[in-house]
Amino acid sequence: MRDTVSLTIDGVPVSVPQGTTLRAAAEAVGHEVPTLCWHENLAPANACRACVVEVEGSRALVAACSRVAEPGMVVHTRSPRVERARRVVAELLASAVDISLAPTVAALVEETQSEPERWEGARTAPPVRDDNGLYVRDYAKCILCYRCVEACGAEAQNTFAISVAGRGFDAHIDAGWDRAMPESDCVFCGNCVAVCPTGALMDRTEWTLRQEGRWDEAAIHTTDTVCGYCGVGCALTLHVLDNRIVKVTSPDDHPVTHGMLCVKGRYAYQYVQAEESGDGPLV
């Protein structure tokens, strides 16, 4: 067929539609490639290199999240060279960044039997920035995956409030001249928070509850519903702890939102439970 591409992945022949990435093709044969920066609703940033695979005839390892399948490709997702590269990726990240709330990075460390302690040297440890009422930035946990930048930019929000500034070890997410978020172009939609895989960006309510030791993942119930504000009809997932909404997200596969929300949908829910906190109007 003209619209499909045949290739071999780990010795398994597979045909996929034209335009399929190697990541998706590998998934189709059950050989999942680990990813950190890849996100189903964002363009691949090719930042993390966790998804590298070996393509015979290619000098360098290629990023499976963005490289598109070509006819006759022979791909190895778990060759020694691939595994060594992934191991070093995991070690370098874990040696420099706090991965305590980054399950995908932790899984990669474990899966690759990484030894981050092999890499002595600096750790990324900027202070926590709690400069707005809605979310907190702890860039000691940032792996520079670019997801927040993409979600803030052309992939969803089109606000372009943040970017990566600096080079090498000094590279960091910045809202321009190291500004606090309220002084930046940020519109506080929290879509950066929604796509952050490491807990570097966190809704302030969750951050506060974690600081107080009251965030209990196991006790949180989630319910899918629909936003009560404008007429777009965004799907909301309400995260409820002790009968209080503590977080709002949206399903990544919903055709209206693709996991993205606006500031009111994500954060303006306090009126619902104002009577418990006593800081809102009552009947």
Partner 1 sequence: MILLVGSNAAETHPILFHHIMKGVHRGAELIVVDPRRTATARKAREHVQLAVGTDIALVNAMIHVIIREGLWHRAFVERATDGYEELKAQVASWTPERAAAICGVPPAQIERVARTYAQADRAMIAWTLGITEHHNAVDHVLALINLALLTGHVGRPGTGLNPLRGQNNVQGGGDMGALPDRLPGFYSVRDAAARQRFEAAWGVTLSERPGLNQSQIFEAMREGRVQGLYVIGENPLVSEANSQHIAEAFARLRALIVQDVVMTATAARADVVFPARVSFAESTGTYTNSERRVQLVRAARQAPGEARDDLWILAALARELGHAWPEVTAAEVFAEIRAMVPTYRGITYQRLENTPGIQWPCPDENHPGTPVLHTRLWDEVVTPRVAFHPVEWVPPAEPLDDAFPFRLTTGRRLQSFNSGVQSRHYGHPAPEHEWLEIHPRDAQALGLEEGRQARVVSRRGSLTVPVRLTSTVPPGTVFLSFHFPDQTPTNVLSIDATDVVSGTAEFKAAAVRIERVEE
Q: Where do contacts with partner 1 occur on this chain (CB under 8 A)?
A: 132-134, 154, 156-158, 181-182, 187-189, 204, 221-235, 238, 240, 243-245, 251, 253-258, 260-265, 267-276, 279-283
Q: How far is the CB of 130 from partner 1 (least distance, A)?
A: 12
Give the whole-angstrom CA distance, residue 62 versus residue 259: 28
Helix axes 103-111 and 80-96, enclosed angle (nearest 10): 130
**Cβ distance to partner 1 smaller for residue 34 or 44:** 44
- Return the number of the residue (41 or 104) whose C-beta is nearest partner 1: 41
Distance (Å, whole) CA 280 – CA 271: 7
Residue type for position 95: S
Shortest distance in whole angstroms from residue 95 CB to partner 1: 35
Nearest CA to 257 out of 228, 236, 229, 238 is that of 236
Q: CB of residue 158 vs partner 1: minimum separation in angstroms?
A: 5
Cβ 54 to partner 1 shortest distance, Å: 33
Task: Encode burial over 226-253: b for 16+ CB neighbours within 10 A, e otherwise.
Answer: ebeeeeeebbbbbbebeeebbbbbbeee
CA 139 to chain centre: 14
C-beta of 211 vs 222, nearer to partner 1: 222
Minimum distance of partner 1 from residue 193's CB (angstroms): 14
* Dihedral, 59, 65, 66, 67 alpha carbons, nearest 10: 40
| Nearer residue to partner 1 within complex by CB, 104 or 205 | 205
Complex with partner 1: residue 126 or 228, whichever CB lies closer: 228
Q: Which is closer to partner 1, CB of 86 or CB of 239?
A: 239
* Residue 252 CB, nearest approach to partner 1 (Å): 11
State which amino acid sits at residue 138: D
